[in-house]
């Protein structure tokens, strides 16, 4: 397969926020980076210096958008807002920690922990709907940028869907891979579908918190 038929993606989870440190579920709540997250975004920019991209996209939530703006500042690359790559809407669990969720919303937390595919957190997105949103957005970019490298700034939940698409792991299977803040995650898409290149590369970072895993 020639490179002209392949679209290669570098996907980056946003830098750290205070809520990441508290293990508080953010979802669509628009939390900005903290000082550590801004430092991670600068480190991302340094790590990306050896790569070239035809286009860059970012979730429009502030923590991803700010990461993108800082990281690409010296690259001469305009970042396009892409709400398709927003985090999943976690409904009633948004704004609470996993420990709080166990007490306040035990039934909801049960479905969250079990990764029930069609459960929507009472007023959020089911895993099935969320994954379809993410995959449709990526597959559209794979077509429009065939043969190119594409940079995307996004969220842990989005990356969870991408990893599973690239490895064939079911949506409902427990997560046994990491989703660190500001790490590099490379996948590609071609006529044979998705393929994982490398995952959770943190060599450019001093530290990176994993996505909430409970």
pLDDT 10s digits, 22-67: 999 999 999 999 999 999 999 999 999 999 999 999 999 999 999 9
3-state SS of the chain is: CCHHHCEEEEEEECCCCHHHHHCECCCCCCCCCCHHHHHHHHHHHHHHCCCCCCEEEECCCHHHHHHHHHHCCCCCCCEEECHHHCCCCCHHHCCCEHHHHHHHCHHHHHHHHHCCCCCCCCCCCCHHHHHHHHHHHHHHHHHHCCCCEEEEEECHHHHHHHHHHHHCCCCCCCCCCCCCCCCEEEEEEECCEEEEEEEEECCCCCCCCCCCCC
CATH class of the 3-201 domain in this structure: alpha beta
Contacts 24+ apart (CB under 8 A), 196-201: 196/163, 196/166, 196/167, 197/8, 199/163
Q: What is the pLDDT of residue 1?
A: 44
Q: What is the pLDDT of residue 3?
A: 79
Q: What is the pLDDT of residue 209?
A: 66
Low pLDDT (below 50) residues in the chain: 1, 213-214
What are the residue boundaries of the structural domains of the chain, listed by start? 3-201
Q: What is the pLDDT of residue 212?
A: 56
Catalytic residues: 14, 87
pTM (2 decimals)?
Answer: 0.94
Name the one residue in this structure whose structure tokens are 């704004």: 95
């Amino acid at each position: 397969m020639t490179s002209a038929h392949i679209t290669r993606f570098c996907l980056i989870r946003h830098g750290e926020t205070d809520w990441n440190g508290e293990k508080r579920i953010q979802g669509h709540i628009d939390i900005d980076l903290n000082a550590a997250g801004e430092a991670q975004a600068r480190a991302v920019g340094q790590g990306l210096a050896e790569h070239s991209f035809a286009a860059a996209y970012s979730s429009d939530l502030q923590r991803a958008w700010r990461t993108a703006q800082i990281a690409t500042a010296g690259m001469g690359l305009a970042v396009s807002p892409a709400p398709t790559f927003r985090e999943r809407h976690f409904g009633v669990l948004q704004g609470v920690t996993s420990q709080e969720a166990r007490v306040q919303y035990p039934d909801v937390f049960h479905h969250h922990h079990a990764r029930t595919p069609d459960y929507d957190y009472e007023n959020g997105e089911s895993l099935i709907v969320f994954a379809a949103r993410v995959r449709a957005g990526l597959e559209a970019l794979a077509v429009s940028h065939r043969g190119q490298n594409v940079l995307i700034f996004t969220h842990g939940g989005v990356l969870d869907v991408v990893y599973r698409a690239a490895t064939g792991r079911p949506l409902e299977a427990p997560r046994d891979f990491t989703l660190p803040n500001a790490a590099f995650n490379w996948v590609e898409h071609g006529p044979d579908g998705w393929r994982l290149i490398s995952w959770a590369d943190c060599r450019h970072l001093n530290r990176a918190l994993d996505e909430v895993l409970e």
